[in-house]
């Protein structure tokens, strides 16, 4: 009996005309009946669903990616029609090529047909269908944007909620006299608006984002500014998972022009980039509609706050030689080993690195600590964990535990044996691959030769030249793949040399880690099941850290007491 998998996808803004495609549950039910009617078995583990995911998205689509990783486990994929797989011509064609390359067939139950991908005509028809789906997605997106633009030009709500306002549905009678929703409008929420004005006032008075956030969170260390600016009362925060104020929330409010009655639309747009549909790009031109009835912050207070924001930004850029704050756009890793890989056991927030000077004169140096980011940025009312730990002590404890539990000679031998076994299995599975690749190379070369013959007598258009370049790249890629497929498995002598070299690298483990911390962080992230927990403990009036963690091959740091292992690990609770 053939094994079938089911794939269903629906976008949140899917405007597909087929009622069947408006529910992933319905898609799965119909696909299951279609498979059963043909005698195919459907394992529930091979029902893959992406609900609320755009057809232009190919990277952040969990169900789709799990299906591609499991192609060896079934013979057939059933879905409603081609647009469920994707609405991007290039990436949809590439995905189908990968599916067919594993020998998996694809059936559409709406049209009761199997997608073919064998001949040049099949591939052309598939490209045409994918192009039609992509054009439909773009038209639907434009229709939706045009409708929102008409609302935005009147200053109405086009989606989302802004702190300081309530979203209020507006109803009008239709031709039958029934009340139907016309649009959604903003209405000032007086309680939240009062908080916004007080934030602007505190910032204009010279306080920073972090101090304002801690004051809003009723941190006892900031009672005086709380009384001065907020009447000593904590204020409800914007909706979020923590229920508390963050410095970033304060900053976002200070830059939001809605509070002076300017309603923006189209300030950011989603663009596709490498199969990713949710990249937001700031636009240089966008719509701003004036709504004086929605002003919250007086003009003079707004100008004072904006002037200080510009002055602070200018000073910061001068101090940092033009480099802006925040993470680099290149996505580079942190230079600290445990940031983002450690978690506070009290509130669940990430551990961050802070620093403070030590000594004086020529002996003055900076000491780095790990501490709870919520306690540091939001105050003790949000997280009571005020412990700090020397960064060097924590890093050494983690590395020692890894060396003791995960990087033993036995573990290295086990991993190497598994890798050699996988190589042998792949070579057995791909015995016929070199011959097939050779056929593909000859076929692509014939296409290239035909193109070259056709253009030898004239001036070819740019599209033809690009097609030739694509064929040349395809041929080179096939040749490289064929060369790799002919590589022989390592012999016994090679294996012994590799095993000896790996054992030798264990001795220099710490040097490798500190020589390239970003790469070490990537390896540690794969090794850890979840972030290492930093558990604060107090004994005899002294504060200690207990680190607790789990790796993919067993427990890590369970338990290690910093402060017992080394005198430098002793961490007295620091005063405010």
Task: List, in order, residues 6 or more apart from 456 with CB less than 8 Å away.
Answer: none
Predicted confidence band at 564 (pLDDT cuts at 50, 70, 90)? very low
Answer yes or no: is 473 within a domain: no
Asked if 134 and 43 sit in the same domain, the reply is yes
Between 118 and 262, name the one with better pLDDT: 262
Answer yes or no: is 396 within a domain: no
Answer yes or no: is 227 within a domain: yes
Asked if 135 and 195 sit in the same domain, the reply is no
Predicted confidence band at 571 (pLDDT cuts at 50, 70, 90)? very low
Token pair of 427 as six digits = 């070579």
Mean pLDDT (whole number) for 513-529: 73
Answer yes or no: is 546 within a domain: no
Question: What is the percentage of the chain residues whose pLDDT exceeds 90?
Answer: 13
Strand-strand pairing, 3-10 and 41-51: parallel
Answer yes or no: is 419 within a domain: no
Answer yes or no: is 230 within a domain: yes
Predicted confidence band at 302 (pLDDT cuts at 50, 70, 90)? very high
Highest mean predicted confidence (pLDDT) among 6-10, 267-271, 495-499, 507-511: 6-10
pLDDT value at residue 526: 73
**Of 154-158, 269-273, 378-382, which gets the smallest average pLDDT?**
269-273
pLDDT value at residue 567: 32
Kindly report the CATH number assigned to the domain that includes residue 85: 3.40.50.1390
Distance CA 352, CA 182 (A): 48
DSSP state letters, 352-374: EEEEEEES-GGG-EEEEEEEEHH
Between 257 and 411, name the one with better pLDDT: 257
Please give the tally of structural domains in the chain: 2
Under a CB-based contact definition with an 8 Å cutoff, are residues 197 and 204 in contact?
A: no
Distance CA 362, CA 215 (A): 38
Answer yes or no: is 309 within a domain: yes
Asked if 131 and 208 sit in the same domain, the reply is no
Asked if 213 and 310 sit in the same domain, the reply is yes
pLDDT value at residue 241: 58
- Which of 113, 140, 167 delimits the end of a domain? 140
Q: Which domain range does residue 205 map to?
A: 187-261+296-319
Q: 96-153: per-residue pLDDT in tens? A: 777 887 889 989 898 888 877 665 565 555 555 555 555 565 666 666 667 777 777 7
Asked if 135 and 198 sit in the same domain, the reply is no
Asked if 16 and 119 sit in the same domain, the reply is yes
pTM, two decimal places: 0.47
β-partners of residue 76 are 4, 105
- Which of 140, 174, 197 delimits the end of a domain? 140
Q: 165-202: per-residue pLDDT in tens? A: 998 888 888 877 788 888 888 899 999 999 999 999 99
Asked if 22 and 130 sit in the same domain, the reply is yes
Answer yes or no: is 468 within a domain: no
The answer on pLDDT for 340 being more than 60 is yes
Q: What is the CB neighbour count within 10 angstroms for residue 52?
A: 11
């Amino acid at each position: 009996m053939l094994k079938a998998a089911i794939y269903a996808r629906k976008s949140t803004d899917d405007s597909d005309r087929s009622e069947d495609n408006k529910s992933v549950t319905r898609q799965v039910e119909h696909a299951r009946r279609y498979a059963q009617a043909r005698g195919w078995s459907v394992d529930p583990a091979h029902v893959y669903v992406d609900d609320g995911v755009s057809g232009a998205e190919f990277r952040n689509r969990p169900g789709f990616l799990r299906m591609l990783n499991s192609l060896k486990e079934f013979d057939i994929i059933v879905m409603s029609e081609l647009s469920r797989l994707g609405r991007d011509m290039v990436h949809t064609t590439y995905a189908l090529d990968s599916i067919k390359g594993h020998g998996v067939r694809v059936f559409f139950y709406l049209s009761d047909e199997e997608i073919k991908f064998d001949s040049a005509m099949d591939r052309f028809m598939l490209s045409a269908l994918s192009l039609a789906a992509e054009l439909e997605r773009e038209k639907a997106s434009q229709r939706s944007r045009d409708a929102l633009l008409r609302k935005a030009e009147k200053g109405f709500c086009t989606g989302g909620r802004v702190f300081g306002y309530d979203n209020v549905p507006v109803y009008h009678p239709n031709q039958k006299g029934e009340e139907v929703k016309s649009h959604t409008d903003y209405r000032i929420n007086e309680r939240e608006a009062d908080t916004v004005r007080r934030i602007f006032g505190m910032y204009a008075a010279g306080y920073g984002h972090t101090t304002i956030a801690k004051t809003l969170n009723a941190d006892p260390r900031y009672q005086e500014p709380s009384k001065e600016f907020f009447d000593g009362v904590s204020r409800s925060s914007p909706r979020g998972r923590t229920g508390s104020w963050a410095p970033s929330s304060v900053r976002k409010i200070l830059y939001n022009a809605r509070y002076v009655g300017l309603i923006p639309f189209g300030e950011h747009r989603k663009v596709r980039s490498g199969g990713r549909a949710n990249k937001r790009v700031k636009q240089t031109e966008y719509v701003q509609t004036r709504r004086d009835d929605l002003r919250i912050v007086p003009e003079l207070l707004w100008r004072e706050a904006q002037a200080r924001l510009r002055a602070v930004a200018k000073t910061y850029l001068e101090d940092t030689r033009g480099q802006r704050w925040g993470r680099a756009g290149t996505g580079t890793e942190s230079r600290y080993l445990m940031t983002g890989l450690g978690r506070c056991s009290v509130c669940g927030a990430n551990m961050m690195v802070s620093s403070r000077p030590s000594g004086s004169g020529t002996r003055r140096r900076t000491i780095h600590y790990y501490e709870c980011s919520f306690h540091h940025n939001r105050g003790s009312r949000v997280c009571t964990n005020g412990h700090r730990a020397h960064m060097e002590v924590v890093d050494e404890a983690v590395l020692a535990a890894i060396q003791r539990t995960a990087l033993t000679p036995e573990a290295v031998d086990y991993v190497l044996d598994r890798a050699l076994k996988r190589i042998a299995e792949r070579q057995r599975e791909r015995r016929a691959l070199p011959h097939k690749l050779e056929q593909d190379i000859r076929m692509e070369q014939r296409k290239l030769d035909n193109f070259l013959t056709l253009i030898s007598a004239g001036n070819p258009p740019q599209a033809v030249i690009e097609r030739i370049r694509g064929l040349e790249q395809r041929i080179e890629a096939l040749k490289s793949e064929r060369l790799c497929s002919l590589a022989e498995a390592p012999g016994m002598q090679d294996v012994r040399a590799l095993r000896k070299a790996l054992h030798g690298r264990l001795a220099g483990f710490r040097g490798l880690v500190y020589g390239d911390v970003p790469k070490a962080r990537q390896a540690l992230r794969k090794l850890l099941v979840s972030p290492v927990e930093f558990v604060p403990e107090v004994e005899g009036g002294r504060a200690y850290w207990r680190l607790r963690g789990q790796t993919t091959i067993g427990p890590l740091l369970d338990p290690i007491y910093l402060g017992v292992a080394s005198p430098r690990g002793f961490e007295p609770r620091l005063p405010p």
